[in-house]
Structure 1
Amino acid sequence: MRDPRMSAIGKGLRRRGRLMVQAVSPPRRVAPERRALNAVPAQRDPRQEAPGATPAPRAPRLVDSPVFVLSSVRSGSTLLRVLLNSHSRIRAPHEMHLRTVHVRFSRDFTADAMKELRLDRQELEHVLWDRILDLELRHSGKDVIVDKTPANTLIFRRLERCWPNARYLILLRHPGAVVTSLTDRRDNPDHAAICDEVLEYAEKLEEARQHLDHAHVITYEDLTADPERVTRGLCEYLGVPWESGMLDYGSHDHGRFRPKLGDWSSTIKSGRIQAARGADASLELPPRLLELAKAWGYPVD
């Protein structure tokens, strides 16, 4: 005979299952290139998201002054990465996507336990991010680490909270050239959606450029046109001597060039610095993108 208690439990589980499914909104249709950017974060304890909650004190960091490249997608950040990674003291690995590494409290009392340790969910994530950078530095045997994940641009203020002594390389490219690159890269490109995506990055880049007065700003066009001058300036900013071998990045091991971890095109795989492609003159750009291009020193018709 079936145990009536088990039957009741089963019904309760099915009811809860239905409620859980109904509580989740149906997924939006998102282009594959945007899925990583719009990834849904892990479930969070609501008490850690309460407005006005006092953040936990910052724990000691193993990496005191990491370097973050802030850029749009399709702005030459992989080229910048491999040039820096070719230096004997600089480790610039593939995109690490720290913003998608989350901590989840799986029991109701976990938040209280962490609070007694002067930790909350966000600070636990910061400790984990810091540990990831430290491990990568130790594995490399170098002493400067650079993360060039473009989506870091969207969370630069949180990076600033996590690492008050962090350094920033702001890499700009003409917004029209970024739109052109994305358009060429995608099947059945939606021009309006691409412009919106580029504008999202461009607005954050301009915010970072205005806010981070200690950041080092370069352009992709200058990097490809005069790589020695630009890399010398980068090394001076990072406090390391310039090395001519940086320019011959093809002779160094940078790991596999793979989708979602950076550029994987034949251009970057060639091992040679190639001239930056310009914008398609026939593309019409939103006024705000033209305004930002002009603010960054690019000629605008």
Structure 2
Amino acid sequence: MNETENAAPTMLFVGGLHRSGTTLFASLMGTHPEISGFRHTGAPEDEGQHLQTVLPIDEHHGGPGRFAFAPDAYLTESSPYASVETARRLRAQWNRYWDLSKPILLEKSPPNLIRFRLLQELFPNSKFILMMRNPVSVTLSTRKWSPSLSHRDLVRHWLHAHKIAFEDARSLRYFMTVRYEDLMEDPERTMESVASFLDIPNAFATTQIAPFLDGRYAAQWSAEVDRAVLDDLRDAVADRGYTL
């Protein structure tokens, strides 16, 4: 065996609300020669939540735009799932889809952002990346899937999910945030930060990123949304670095 085979791989968990760029980001991460992610599994967006039968998936808690509000969806080290048996079963099911010769094993699922603490308890040396995107873009694109939810409902869900994620981040040993906008504007610099976080060379194929800015959503937002309905949420959104 070589040195890489002897070393225990690092598990890397990526989370972020639906339509926040997690799939694009995971695809880019998978271009690195030291990272193995899930590809061509047949599961929706190759998400790890659909490649296991141990933890509930987001659809069990209402799906996009709803799941973070479900009390049972929030999982920490105090959860009944926090056990050696849970970790064993998850690894056994996910191992079928990873290249176990790689030093970093990537799992991406939207609900991870409210279960990072549980995942750290299950896999203590793991690292965590939160993918974050403007709530305007997330709201408008999520409404295509959940048209019964109002713009206000979805902005509130965005705020609640990120409140949990950032509060939980205080308990994580290895955590970073990647903003979708930064990735689109300067993929090379953004992935340099990711490489530093993971302590690996910056060998990501950033040329595959086609810059896409969310300007088209601004016009749609202005046309659809009564801004007065969201006035009380503006300060909380600004605290996360965005505007409505």
Q: How does 1:138-153 map to 2 (within 5 A)?
A: 138=99, 141-153=101-113
| Residue 159 of structure 2 is aligned to residue 199 of structure 1 | yes
Deviation of residue 210 (structure 1)? 4.0
1:82 pairs, out of 12, 21, 27, with 27
Query: Partner of 2:212: helix, strand, or coil?
Result: coil
1:97 pairs, out of 42, 49, 57, with 49
Work out whether residues 17 and 132 of structure 2, in 8 Å CA contact, stay in contact via their aligned partners in 1. Answer: yes
Query: Partner of 2:188: helix, strand, or coil?
Result: helix
| Residue 168 of structure 2 is aligned to residue 208 of structure 1 | yes
Letter in 2 for 1:296: R
1:68 pairs, out of 13, 37, 44, with 13
Q: How does 1:274-289 map to 2 (within 5 A)?
A: 274-277=212-215, 278-279=217-218, 280-281=221-222, 283=225, 284=227, 286=230, 289=233
Change (3 A) 1:132 1:239: farther
Change (3 A) 1:273 1:81: farther
Deviation of residue 157 (structure 1)? 1.4
Letter in 1 for 2:95: D
Query: Partner of 2:95: helix, strand, or coil?
Result: helix
The corresponding residue for 1:157 is 117
Deviations 1:121-149 (A, max 9, x none): 8431211112334343336x432111120
Structure exhibiting the larger radius of gyration computed from Cα positions: 1
In 2, the alpha carbon distance for the partners of 1:132 and 1:287 equals 45
Deviations 1:236-260 (A, max 9, x none): 21122112534326xxxxxxxxxxx
In 1, the alpha carbon distance for the partners of 2:9 and 2:204 equals 27
In 1, the alpha carbon distance for the partners of 2:149 and 2:87 equals 36
In 1, the alpha carbon distance for the partners of 2:177 and 2:232 equals 21
Deviation of residue 234 (structure 1)? 0.9
Q: Which moved more, 1:148-157 or 1:129-138?
A: 129-138
In 2, the alpha carbon distance for the partners of 1:138 and 1:85 equals 11
Work out whether residues 66 and 146 of structure 1, in 8 Å CA contact, stay in contact via their aligned partners in 2. Answer: yes
Letter in 1 for 2:195: C
Query: Partner of 1:72: helix, strand, or coil?
Result: coil
Letter in 1 for 2:87: H
Deviation of residue 297 (structure 1)? 2.1
Letter in 2 for 1:131: A
Deviations 1:212-244 (A, max 9, x none): 363122211101111111011111211221125
| Residue 92 of structure 2 is aligned to residue 169 of structure 1 | no
Deviation of residue 295 (structure 1)? 2.0
Q: Which moved more, 1:179-188 or 1:161-170?
A: 179-188
In 2, the alpha carbon distance for the partners of 1:227 and 1:96 equals 24
Give the alignment's TM-score, normalised by structure 1.
0.57
Give the alignment's TM-score, normalised by structure 2.
0.68
Q: Which moved more, 1:196-205 or 1:89-98?
A: 196-205
Change (3 A) 1:217 1:121: closer
Deviations 1:135-185 (A, max 9, x none): 43336x432111120111121111111112110112221223211221244
Work out whether residues 113 and 130 of structure 2, in 8 Å CA contact, stay in contact via their aligned partners in 1. Answer: no
Q: Percent identity of the aligned residues?
A: 21
Whose relative contact order is higher, 1 or 2, with alpha carbons under 8 Å and at least 6 apart? 2
Work out whether residues 64 and 165 of structure 1, in 8 Å CA contact, stay in contact via their aligned partners in 2. Answer: no
The corresponding residue for 1:296 is 240
In 2, the alpha carbon distance for the partners of 1:99 and 1:295 equals 35
| Residue 86 of structure 2 is aligned to residue 125 of structure 1 | yes
Query: Partner of 1:164: helix, strand, or coil?
Result: coil
Gaps in structure 1 of 5+ consecutive residues = 1-61, 104-119, 250-271
Letter in 2 for 1:162: L
